[in-house]
Amino acid sequence: MALRIGFAGYGYIASVHTTNLKRDARVEITSFFDPDPSRAGSLATADFDEMLAKSDAVYITAPNTLHAELAMRAVAAGKHVFCEKPMATTLEAAQKVFETARAAKTVFQVGFNRRFANVYQRVRELAQAAAPHAAHIKMNRGELLKPVWTADEKVTGGFLYETPIHMFDMMRHQFGEVASIDARMGRPNDFSMLVEFQSGMHATFVTSADASWFFPYERLEIFGEYATIETQEMDFVRYRVGLDAPTRTEDYRDVAPEIKLGFAEGDRRFVDAVLGSGAAPVTALDGLRSVELACACYQSAVEKRRVRL
């Protein structure tokens, strides 16, 4: 029998996941719950509990501030959960989701798709040879005008829980656990951070909510011993590893978006984990750690001092 999957929230990101899951013969999408009746179509359910009853595994794809509660309800009902980022928008809620997921026997995965993006997988391989000692990270948005809810903290939980939280996860994924953050906030939603890692490595991270749509919005630069690795969006990796080595460019623009952005592998590995082959690749602990970093950044920016993790 196919794995029955339901969705809480059927907007943009749910359509990305359903496109991947419909190609997976092991899966049947059985139900959607969305309070907007125009969204869910013929598989619509009257409420969240009816969607749970029709599912073995559940995608939480509602707006940010709803994730923690919906995810915990799904885990409590014995369901496997794929929770879109952010896992929660407060430290307290993130800890509760983590404890709930840890106590359960079911799979819990967080939607940090960038871990599976070609560019970031390649960076991880290259960084092993580069022995990185420093990095510079940029992740900007053009505006918080479209869609309008991106400027509403009641929906997002705050700007850092929107796109920048991807980079809090990515810095851990590439460089290991963070020891401290020293952040400053210019206007609301403009942050500069000095991040120190437990390894002794350090990085700067700048993120601005309304820098205009200037390409690349997202860039990682890594500096090692006679080595530099640089990304542009999830399209290019440029690198030179070795003093006399040539500078190389890898171009992923022609890769299908669901693969290039990492969504397809994230969905496949969630289904693999639910069906017993492999563990969830992005765990509730990863979700908690990313929320801890966002909270530490807010705290450091408000108090204008370094915060230790």
Ligand X SMILES: NC(=O)c1ccc[n+]([C@@H]2O[C@H](COP(=O)([O-])OP(=O)(O)OC[C@H]3O[C@@H](n4cnc5c(N)ncnc54)[C@H](O)[C@@H]3O)[C@@H](O)[C@H]2O)c1
Residue number with CB closer to ligand X (41 or 188): 41
Output the smallest distance, CB 230 to ligand X, in A: 22
Q: In degrees rounded to 5, what are phi and psi of residue 107? A: -80, 140
Output the smallest distance, CB 131 to ligand X, in A: 30
Output the smallest distance, CB 246 to ligand X, in A: 33
Are 29 and 3 in contact by the 8 Å Cβ rule? The answer is: no
Residue number with CB closer to ligand X (35 or 186): 35
Largest CA-CA distance found in the chain, in angstroms, rounded: 64
Q: In degrees rounded to 5, what are phi and psi of residue 180? A: -160, 155
- Site for ligand X, rule CB under 6 A: 8-14, 33-36, 39, 61-64, 66, 84-85, 111, 113
For Cα atoms 264, 235, 242, give the angle at the middle one, nearest 5 degrees: 115
**Cα 205 to Cα 207: distance, rounded to the nearest angstrom:** 7
Residues, the chain: 309
Task: Copy the structure tokens of residue 286.
Answer: 């990863």
Helix (H) or strand (E) holding 87: none
Residue number with CB closer to ligand X (201 or 291): 291
What single string gives the DSSP state of each residue in 201-247? -EEEEEEES-S-S-S-SEEEEEEETTEEEEEETTTEEEEEESTTSPP
Residue number with CB closer to ligand X (132 or 157): 157
Residue number with CB closer to ligand X (79 or 197): 79
Output the smallest distance, CB 85 to ligand X, in A: 5
Count Cα atoms within 13 angstroms, Cβ side, for 117: 25
Output the smallest distance, CB 179 to ligand X, in A: 27
* Residue in the shown chain whose Cβ atom is closest to ligand X: 11
Residue number with CB closer to ligand X (36 or 251): 36
Output the smallest distance, CB 52 to ligand X, in A: 12
Residue number with CB closer to ligand X (33 or 191): 33
What single string gives the DSSP state of each residue in 44-76? B-SSHHHHHHT-SEEEE-S-GGGHHHHHHHHHH
For Cα atoms 238, 242, 245, give the angle at the middle one, nearest 5 degrees: 70
Residue number with CB closer to ligand X (80 or 115): 115
Burial of 225 (C-beta count, 10 Å sphere; 0-12/13-18/19+): exposed
Output the smallest distance, CB 303 to ligand X, in A: 27
Output the smallest distance, CB 225 to ligand X, in A: 33
Residue 64, CA distances (Å) to 52, 120, 153, 250, 277 in order: 19, 24, 10, 34, 29
